[in-house]
Chain A
Amino acid sequence: MFEGLKRWARKKSPWVLHFNSGACNACDIEILAALMPHFDLERFGVLLKATPRHADVLLCSGPATRQVAPRLKRIYEQMPEPKFVVAVGACACSGGAFRGGYNILDGVDQVIPVSAYIPGCPIKPEALIDGVAKLLGKI
Chain B
Amino acid sequence: MPETIHLPMGPQHPFLKEPVKFDFDIQGEEIVGARMNIGYNHRGLEKLCEDRNYYQCMYILERICGICSHSHTTAFCQATEKLLGLEVPKRGLYLRTLVCELERLHSHLLWLGVAAHEVGFDTLFMLVWRDRELVMDPLEEISGNRVNYAFNTIGGVRRDLSEEQRKKILAILQPLIDRLEYYANIGSNEPSFEARIRGVGKLSKEHAIEMCTVGPFARASGVDRDSRRDAPHAAYPDLEFKVITNEECDVFGRVLVRVLEMVESCKMIKQILDALPEGEFVAPKVMRRVPAGTAISYYEAPRGEDIHYVRSNGSEKPERVKVRAPTLANLEAACESVVGSLVADIPIAIASIDPCYSCTDRTTIALTDRRRGRRVTTWGELRQYGIDWYRRNRGAHF
Choose one: A28, A63, A121; the contact of B17 (CB below 8 Å): A28
CA distance A68 to B42 in the complex (A): 9
State how many angstroms separate the Cβ of B61 from the closest Cβ of chain A.
10
Within 8 A of A (CB), among B133-190: 133, 136, 146-148
Are the C-beta atoms of A33 and B129 separated by less than 8 Å?
Answer: yes
Interface residues in B, total, Cβ within 8 A: 36
Q: Are A26 and B12 in contact (CB under 8 A)?
A: no
Cα A74 to Cα B364 with chains together (Å) = 21
| CB pair A50 B19 closer than 8 Å | no
Report B-chain residues with C-beta under 8 Å of the C-beta of A112: none
| A109 touches B (CB below 8 Å) | no
Whether B12 lies near A103 (C-beta < 8 A) is no
CB contacts (< 8 Å) of B67 on chain A: these are: 25-26, 29
Instruction: Kindly identify which residue among B17, B45, B63, B132 contacts A20, using a CB–CB cutoff of 8 Å.
Output: B17
Which chain A residues numbered 57 to 101 have a C-beta less than 8 Å away from chain B? 62-63, 65, 67-68, 71, 75, 91, 97-98, 100-101
* Contact with B147, one of A21, A26, A51, A102 (Cβ below 8 angstroms): A26
Q: In the complex the two chains form, is A98's CB within 8 Å of B129's CB?
A: no
Pick the contact of A51: B14, B19, B39, B59 (CB < 8 A).
B14
Bound form: Cα–Cα A104–B39 in Å: 12
Question: What's the Cα separation between A63 and B358 when bound, in Å?
Answer: 12
Q: List residues of chain B with CB within 8 A of the CB of A22.
A: 19, 40-43, 358
Chain B residues closer than 8 Å to A75, beta-carbon distance: 12
Q: Give which listed residue, B43, B129, B130, B146, contacts A101 with CB less than 8 A.
A: B43
Query: Of the candidates B19, B44, B65, B69, which one forms a contact with A102 in the assembled complex, judged by CB atoms under 8 Å apart?
Result: B44
Shortest Cβ distance from residue B143 to the other chain A in the assembled complex, whole angstroms:
13
Among residues of B, the one whose C-beta sits closest to the C-beta of A122 is B147
CB contacts under 8 Å to A, within B32-70, are 39-45, 47-48, 59-60, 63-67, 69
Q: Give complex CA distance A104, B364 in Å.
A: 12
Given A50-B14, A65-B40, A98-B43 in contact, is the A36-B126 Cβ separation under 8 Å?
yes
Pick the contact of B18 from A25, A67, A71, A97 — CB < 8 Å?
A: A25
Query: Which B residues are in CB contact (< 8 Å) with A138?
Result: none
Complex CA–CA separation, A68 to B43 (angstroms): 11
Residue A136, interface by CB 8 Å: no
Report Cα–Cα, A62/B17, bound state, in Å.
13
Which range contains the number of A residues in contact with the other chain?
35 or more
Bound together, the chains give a CA A26 to CA B45 distance in angstroms of 16
A24 interfacial by beta-carbon distance below 8 Å: yes
Q: Is B11 an interface residue (CB 8 A)?
A: yes
Question: Shortest Cβ distance from A8 into chain B, in angstroms?
Answer: 28
Known contacts: A24-B64, A98-B63. The answer to whether A71 contacts B11 by CB under 8 A is: yes
Q: Which residues of B contact A98 (CB under 8 A)?
A: 43-45, 48, 60, 63
Q: A19-B12, A26-B67, A26-B69 are in contact. Are A37 and B40 (CB under 8 A)?
A: no
Does A107 lie at the interface of the complex (its beta carbon under 8 Å from any beta carbon of B)?
no
Bits for A22-54, please: 1 = Cβ < 8 Å to B, else 0: 111111111011001110000000000011100
Chain B residue with the shortest CB-CB distance to A18: B17
Contacts of B19 in A (CB 8 A): 19-22, 68, 71
Contacts A50-B14, A75-B12, A104-B43 given; indicate if A29 touches B66 (C-beta within 8 A).
yes
Q: A20 contacts B126, CB within 8 Å?
A: no
Cβ-defined contact, B130 with A37, below 8 A? yes
- 8 Å CB contacts to B: which residues of A96-136? 97-98, 100-104, 121-122, 124
Give the docked Cα–Cα distance between A62 and B14 (Å).
18
* Cα distance, A97 to B358, chains bound together (Å): 15
Q: Determine whether the beta carbon of B47 is less than 8 Å from that of A102.
A: yes
Q: Which residue of B lies closest to A26 (CB)?
A: B66
Tell me the bound Cα distance from A37 to B41 in angstroms. 29
Contacts of A20 in B (CB 8 A): 17-19, 41
Report Cα–Cα, A29/B136, bound state, in Å.
12
Bound Cα distance A33, B356 (Å): 17
How far is it, in angstroms, between the C-alpha of A26 and the C-alpha of B67 when the chains are bound?
6
* A60 CB to nearest chain B CB (Å): 11
10 contacts between A and B (CB under 8 A): A20-B18, A20-B41, A22-B358, A25-B65, A29-B110, A65-B41, A71-B12, A98-B45, A101-B43, A102-B44
| 4 closest residue pairs by CB, A with B | A26-B66, A50-B14, A25-B66, A101-B44
Interface set of A (CB-CB < 8 Å, partner B) = 19-30, 32-33, 36-38, 50-52, 62-63, 65, 67-68, 71, 75, 91, 97-98, 100-104, 121-122, 124
18 further A-B pairs in the complex, CB-CB below 8 A; given A65-B40, A98-B48: A19-B12, A19-B19, A20-B19, A22-B358, A25-B17, A25-B358, A32-B129, A33-B133, A33-B136, A52-B12, A63-B43, A65-B42, A68-B41, A71-B11, A71-B40, A98-B44, A101-B48, A121-B148
Which residues of B line the A interface, CB within 8 A?
11-12, 14, 17-19, 39-45, 47-48, 59-60, 63-67, 69, 110, 126, 129-130, 132-133, 136, 146-148, 356, 358, 364
